[in-house]
């Protein structure tokens, strides 16, 4: 069909660009309409068409959510959880390439199915309420990381930039950095206007429930500053062996958590690198101060501030801790949110490889 011919071009372009496409089979509420057997045929076709590419399979979007206007929501939700569990097993049995399998949730991916053994990735959707959605994001990341058996936790949908209120660039930075430093294995940026592919001539319009999420055209939405800044963050953390990072709130005072997302968040690799994020600035008239703690005596750290808006670096020189291994964090270059890095020689991937 012509639809798949066009999709081929886009998937091929993504692969050539070094990206891993995440193939979303459909939205979850189509399962009661199509039935399990027809959905299996659909998925068999997707596997045959694109399985040879380096893709990730996402069984469905908002998999257990019934159709907006359904009159049998509880029954539909139960059927969808059971059905997507069966579909997940089918995909794993059918795919000869053994691609990773995920499912996009209304909240927690592992709760969208009856048996989470079918999933390789734990996707989260944590809200579009701007700043108010950040504590829930941190809490869900921490809770799901502690869940057994362990799965990589990816924030798959949160705070699309430009949606409703309070989702602009500073909230994008706060959401990304608090999630990543809390242990998220991945983060998905989104912009309102792209997901529904609004155009000036033909906006998406109301959803079936009658509400309209927004009219920003896609070619304006993709230029919003948060996308650039999350992209800068990605390139920055790729300097390091970020997959070895562990959340270390014991490295900072005051330590942030879901109840206080404006305090310090920290993660890293002992004796190699510590990355901290502070949403609130340090005011020089504050007597109590903010500290990096537990600094190893045998680690020679240098420090710098990294600007999450521009990617510019402000060097701070050698870290000199006290006898308790504490170092008072200097005032930032400007009153804003900042990333603080402590690293030893050889911490970056380039240095480590060479």
Q: Where do the CATH 2.60.40 domains begin and end in the chain?
A: 244-353
pLDDT, one tens digit per residue, over 66-98 is: 999 999 999 999 999 999 999 999 999 999 999
Distance separating alpha carbons of residues 107 and 178, to the nearest angstrom: 18
Region(s) of the chain under CATH 3.20.20.80: 2-242
Based on the number of CB atoms within 10 Å of its own CB, is 330 exposed (0-12), middle (13-18) or buried (19 or more)?
middle
CA distances from 116 to 38, 47, 316 (A): 23, 21, 46
Question: Look-up: residue for tokens 């596997």?
Answer: 47
CB 130 within 8 A of CB 171: yes
Q: Name the packing angle between helices 169-181 and 133-145 (round to 10°).
A: 20
Residue at token pair 């953390």: 237
Please tell me the class of the 244-353 domain.
mainly beta
132 phi and psi, to 5 degrees? -65, -20
Give the pLDDT confidence score for residue 354 in this predicted structure. Answer: 33
21-58 core/surface letters (b: 16 or more CB in 10 A; e: else): bbbbbbebbbbbeeeeeebbeebeebbeebbebebbbb
Give pTM, 2 decimals: 0.95
Residue labelled with tokens 């949730």: 105
What does the pLDDT read at residue 287?
Answer: 81
The sheet with strand 302-306 has its strands ordered as 246-247, 264-269, 273-278, 338-343, 302-306, 313-318
Q: In the prediction, which pLDDT does 352 show?
A: 41
Contact 292, 252 (CB under 8 A): yes
| pLDDT score at 351 | 45
Residues of the chain with pLDDT below 50 are 351-354
Number of other residues whose CB lies within 10 A of the CB of residue 68: 12
Pick from 114, 190, 181: nearest CA to 153: 181
* Mean predicted lDDT score pLDDT of the chain: 97
* pLDDT of res. 136: 99
Q: How far apart are CA 125 and CA 39, in angstroms?
A: 24
Say what the pLDDT of residue 74 is.
97
| Phi, psi torsion values for 115, nearest 5 degrees | -135, 105
Identify the pLDDT of residue 350: 64
> Looking at residue 1, what is its pLDDT?
82
Q: Which CATH number fits domain 2-242: 3.10.400.10, 3.40.50.880, 3.20.20.80, 3.30.2290.10?
A: 3.20.20.80
Work out the end-to-end distance of the chain between its first and last CA atoms, rounded to an integer number of angstroms. Answer: 49
Q: What pLDDT digit, counting tens, does each position of 271-302 carry? A: 999 999 999 999 999 888 999 999 999 999 99
Q: How far apart are CA 288 and CA 290, in angstroms?
A: 7
Whole-Å CA distances, 210 to 6, 81, 206:
30, 26, 5
């Amino acid at each position: 069909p012509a639809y798949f011919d066009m999709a081929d071009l886009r998937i091929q372009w993504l692969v050539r660009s070094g990206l891993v496409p995440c193939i979303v089979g459909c939205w979850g509420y189509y399962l009661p309409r199509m039935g399990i057997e027809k959905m299996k045929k659909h998925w068999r076709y997707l596997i045959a068409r694109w399985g040879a590419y380096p893709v990730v399979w996402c069984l469905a979007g908002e998999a257990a959510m019934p159709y907006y206007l359904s009159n049998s929501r509880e029954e539909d939700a139960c059927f969808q959880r059971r059905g997507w569990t069966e579909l997940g097993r089918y995909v794993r049995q059918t795919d000869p390439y053994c691609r990773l399998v995920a499912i996009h949730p209304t909240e927690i991916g592992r709760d969208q199915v009856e048996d989470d053994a079918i999933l390789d990735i734990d996707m989260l959707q944590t809200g579009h309420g701007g700043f108010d959605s950040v504590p829930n994001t941190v809490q869900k990341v921490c809770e799901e990381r502690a869940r057994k058996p362990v799965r990589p936790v990816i924030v798959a949908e949160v705070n699309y930039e430009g949606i409703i209120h309070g989702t602009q660039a500073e909230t994008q930075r706060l959401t990304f950095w608090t999630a990543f430093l809390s242990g998220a294995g991945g983060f998905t940026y989104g912009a309102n206007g792209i997901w529904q592919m609004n155009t000036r001539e033909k906006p998406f319009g109301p959803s079936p429930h009658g509400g309209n999420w927004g009219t920003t055209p896609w070619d304006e939405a993709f230029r919003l500053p948060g996308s650039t800044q999350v992209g800068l963050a990605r390139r920055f953390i790729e300097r390091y062996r970020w997959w070895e990072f562990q959340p270390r709130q014991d490295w900072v005072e005051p330590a942030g958590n879901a109840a206080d997302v404006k305090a310090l968040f920290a993660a890293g690799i002992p004796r190699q690198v510590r990355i901290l994020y502070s949403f609130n600035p340090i005011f020089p008239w504050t007597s109590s101060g903010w500290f990096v703690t537990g600094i190893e005596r045998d680690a020679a750290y240098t420090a710098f501030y990294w600007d999450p808006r521009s990617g510019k670096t402000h060097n701070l020189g050698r870290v000199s801790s006290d006898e308790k291994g504490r170092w008072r964090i200097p005032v930032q270059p400007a009153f804003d949110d900042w990333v603080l890095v402590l690293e030893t020689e050889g911490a970056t991937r380039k240095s480590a490889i060479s």
